[in-house]
Amino acid sequence: MFGFESLLPRPVEVVPAPGSCVWPVDVVVRRSTEQPAEGYRLEITPDSVTIDCSDDAGEFYARQTLRQLRGPGAFRTVSSGQSTLPCGVVTDYPRFSWRGCLLDVARNFRTKAEVLRFVDLLAAHKLNVLNLHLTDDQGWRIEIPRFPRLTEVGSWRTGSMVGRHDGPERDGRPHGGFYTVDDLREIVAYAAERAVTVVPEIDIPGHARAAIAAYPELGPGEPYEVWTSWGISTSLLNTEESTVDFFRAVFDQVLEIFPSPIIGLGGDEVPGATEKHGWFVRQIVEHLHSRGRKALCWDEVLEIGELPHPVVIGSWRGEEAGVWAVKDGHQVVMCPEQYVYLDHRQSDHPGEPIPVGYLHTLEDVYAYEPVPEGMPDTTGLLGTQAQVWTEHLDSVRRVDYASFPRLSAFAEVAWTPAALRDYTEFLPRLREHHLPRLDALGVEYRPLDGPHPWQTRPGVPGRKR
């Protein structure tokens, strides 16, 4: 029988009791202000299951815990989970309120069905934010009815770079796709049913070449194609008032689709940024604020001058920006590339496919501590987020490989108190209890001892750091 020792992320407290309960049984749900936000108390007796929670998320997580206790069969679309549950009481709540994962659907498009599946996988891990990176130099993925060329032109490119960033080779294979307004509303609603908030990101004023390809008047002057290279493009949005107006209208459409109180505007990697680019970003921060929302910005925006309002900083280039931002009165999501970039290589195994970035083993991700040294207090620290950039992940199978099981380790970092985290205990729990759940879900994760032969990409050069 799968017992409490199998749960992932590890719960705050478990008090086992003798006996077992035969499933299915009616689940009694009681709302109680005694439970913290997203928390729950789950009591299983020989003839009853009771959930106490203060909100829908708490009930959802209690039901995920029950699902895990029913074994891997409960993760199949036609459930074949075990019919007995262990008796006892689980008292549980998350360490952080922002337990996120970024999915880049701009570099390599993922279909709506694949995004919904990714939401399911986040929810099964008690992660609660999907930061959807919708626009970049290589593709614009969100329908904006007022500006149809954004998707007519901006959602397609003629080919893609494969592997390293410094060669002339392209695959010569057109790539594209976008989500309609209705698709995105569906994703938002589906995620909400699973306690996941979709935080969209429209990247400005860099990483915007797909928009410039669609509407050249937004750019530096000359015509551009949607970019077929990876890397940091130097073609930036210009800082004309009309360009700011254009993006105010784009963000207004974004706000109509996404109820998230926090909306991403990018702000990262703006080579040769001028004072006016800082001004551009501040205009959009201001605009979101005037509409009752808050901007999520990458940490570079701390360098562009005073921001008009507190924002949420994604501390990605390291941990210092996060510490500094909290001191400066902003909120922070810790997502440093040195620890939680899941597109980065998982090992120095010779078969590791397209090995890029820093070495982030499963153990490294598990060891990540989101409260950095020097953080003055944690009131501004919303939580932490793993990042799945997709330059080198050109299929859902590649996304599975890069994400799992490291995202399972990350889920425990984001949920479980640091004092309860122990890799020597986690690893056998993952191997014996959680990988079978991922198998049942059909997730093509990286095996612990290295890739399957069909998961390698011989001959495609990486870019290690």
Footprint on this chain of ligand ACM (rule: CB under 6 A): 268-269, 298, 316
- 136 given a catalytic annotation: yes
Provide the minimum distance between the beta carbon of 440 and ligand ACM in the complex, in angstroms, as a whole number. Answer: 32
Provide the minimum distance between the beta carbon of 370 and ligand ACM in the complex, in angstroms, as a whole number. Answer: 17
Active-site residue, selected from the candidate residues 125, 175, 207, 330:
207
Provide the minimum distance between the beta carbon of 54 and ligand ACM in the complex, in angstroms, as a whole number. Answer: 34
Identify which of residues 37 and 232 has a Cβ nearer to ligand ACM in the complex. 232
Identify which of residues 156 and 389 has a Cβ nearer to ligand ACM in the complex. 389
Among candidate residues 317, 338, 343, 438, the one with its CA nearest the CA of residue 101: 343
Peptide bond into 145 cis (omega under 30): no
- 400 given a catalytic annotation: no
Burial of 29 (0-12, 13-18, 19+ CB in 10 A): middle
β-strands 262-266, 84-92: how paired? Answer: unpaired
Identify which of residues 115 and 388 has a Cβ nearer to ligand ACM in the complex. 388
- 169 given a catalytic annotation: no
Among candidate residues 173, 177, 184, the one with its CA nearest the CA of residue 152: 177
Provide the minimum distance between the beta carbon of 35 and ligand ACM in the complex, in angstroms, as a whole number. Answer: 35
- In 40-196, DSSP assigns E strands to 40-45, 48-53, 84-92, 98-104, 129-133, 135-136, 139-140, 156-157, 175-176
Identify which of residues 124 and 202 has a Cβ nearer to ligand ACM in the complex. 202
Active-site residue, selected from the candidate residues 43, 92, 104, 136:
136
Residue with tokens 């990350």: 410
Contact indicator for 355, 464 with CB cutoff of 8 Å:
yes
Identify which of residues 231 and 442 has a Cβ nearer to ligand ACM in the complex. 231
Measured in Å, how far apart are the chain's first and last C-alpha atoms?
Answer: 44
- Separation of CA 459 from chain center: 29
Contact indicator for 360, 345 with CB cutoff of 8 Å:
yes
Burial of 50 (0-12, 13-18, 19+ CB in 10 A): middle
Active-site residue, selected from the candidate residues 55, 269, 286, 328:
269
Provide the minimum distance between the beta carbon of 31 and ligand ACM in the complex, in angstroms, as a whole number. Answer: 39
Identify which of residues 40 and 316 has a Cβ nearer to ligand ACM in the complex. 316
Contact indicator for 126, 411 with CB cutoff of 8 Å:
yes
Provide the minimum distance between the beta carbon of 316 and ligand ACM in the complex, in angstroms, as a whole number. Answer: 4
Residue nearest ligand ACM (C-beta atom) = 268
For the annotated catalytic residues, the residue numbers are 136, 207, 269
